[in-house]
Amino acid sequence: MRLFDPERKAPKLDVVPRHIALVMDGNGRWANQRGLTRTEGHKAGEIALLEVVAGAIEAGVENLTAYAFSTENWKRSPEEVRFLMGYNKEVLRKRRDLLMEWNVRIRWAGRMPRLWPSVVKELQEAERITAKNTGLTLTMAVNYGGRQELVDAVNKLATKVALGQLKPGSITEKTIAKELYVPELPDVDLFLRSSGELRSSNFLMWQSSYAEYFFSPTLWPDFNREELWRAIAEFGGRQRRFGAAEDAPLN
């Protein structure tokens, strides 16, 4: 897998989002359309993730957070859950050297309970090995849920209050943000979802409060870096107001 390909060079992008949230959706439909099993669809999705990581690096994106397994995905069949657990582990191990070469720093966002200990171990190992890398931060959201993340943050704050480390009534947005799974992550600028579904599915709800949304009809295994660049180009044309108001100049 080549990172830099002169035939596939990033176009000139005026504005580059600092943090992209990525919902990699549509593996099952992609497989079903081809008479394959859902697991074959998940396997085919791996290359799309590497494509997007390469494209994000080329575009100069600093943070990419990829939704790999949600806290709601436990509702799937035991076979699919088992496959996804094993596969997440395998991909992390198999691609660690390549991501290292690309200077990518890996982080994990998610909760420990229920997640296979071997997956937690692999995620933590990837975090440790890539900790000094200075390029793109790739956060893998595994056993992640936006509401769960807030519940976990609130519980941590409640413990601090009970221990007298935090005064009741002193909690601010900053205090909450510090208790999120990866507190260093900036707010999401661009929220990208493949497969034509128009929803956020409990992904990065706190961080995406002012994100720009981009929904692509492409099923995840067919997604590539060019499509990422199109999304970034469209993002560059959006006017972000953050609640403020601006009049067009009067003639």
Measured from the CB of residue 24, what is the shortest distance to Mg ion in angstroms? 9
Of the candidates 27, 63, 73, 202, the residue annotated as catalytic is 73
- Asked if 187 is an active-site residue, the reply is no
Q: Which stretch binds Mg ion (CB under 5 A): 1-9, 18-26, 156-164, 202-210?
A: 18-26
Task: Name residue 179's beta-bridge partners.
Answer: none
Could you say which of Mg ion, ligand IPE, none residue 105 binds, taking C-beta under 5 to 8 angstroms by partner kind? none
> Helix, strand or coil for residue 186?
coil
Measured from the CB of residue 162, what is the shortest distance to ligand IPE in angstroms? 34
DSSP 76: S
Number of C-beta neighbours around residue 113 at 10 A: 8
Q: Which residue is nearest to Mg ion (CB)?
A: 25
> Helix, strand or coil for residue 213?
strand
Q: Which residue is nearest to ligand IPE (CB)?
A: 28
Q: Which stretch binds Mg ion (CB under 5 A): 21-29, 67-75, 166-174, 177-185?
A: 21-29
Residue closer to Mg ion by CB (options 25, 227) is: 25
Extract the tokens encoding 37: 């099993």
User: Whose CA is closest to 21, among 166, 185, 175?
Assistant: 185
- Asked if 224 is an active-site residue, the reply is no
Q: Give the residue, chosen from 25, 51, 122, 152, that forms a contact with Mg ion under the rule CB under 5 A.
A: 25
Residue closer to Mg ion by CB (options 102, 191) is: 191
Could you say which of Mg ion, ligand IPE, none residue 27 binds, taking C-beta under 5 to 8 angstroms by partner kind? ligand IPE
- The rounded distance, in Å, linking the Cα atoms of 30 and 35 is 9
Q: What is the number of H-type helices and E-type strands within the chain?
A: 7, 6
Of the candidates 25, 27, 88, 152, the residue annotated as catalytic is 25
Measured from the CB of residue 140, what is the shortest distance to Mg ion in angstroms? 17
- Write the CA distances from 229 to 22, 47, 117, 201, integer angstroms: 13, 17, 36, 23
Q: Are 144 and 111 in contact (CB under 8 A)?
A: yes
User: Whose CA is closest to 122, among 84, 89, 85, 87?
Assistant: 89
- For 203, counting Cβ atoms within 10 Å of its Cβ (0-12 exposed, 13-18 middle, 19+ buried), the class is buried
Measured from the CB of residue 82, what is the shortest distance to ligand IPE in angstroms? 13
Measured from the CB of residue 77, what is the shortest distance to Mg ion in angstroms? 14
Does position 30 bind Mg ion by CB under 5 A? no
Q: Which residues bind ligand IPE (CB under 6 A)?
A: 23-29, 38, 67-70, 73, 84, 195, 197, 199, 201, 220
Could you say which of ligand IPE, Mg ion, none residue 37 binds, taking C-beta under 5 to 8 angstroms by partner kind? none
- For 135, counting Cβ atoms within 10 Å of its Cβ (0-12 exposed, 13-18 middle, 19+ buried), the class is middle
In the complex, the residues that contact Mg ion under the rule CB under 5 A are 25
Catalytic center residues: 25, 73
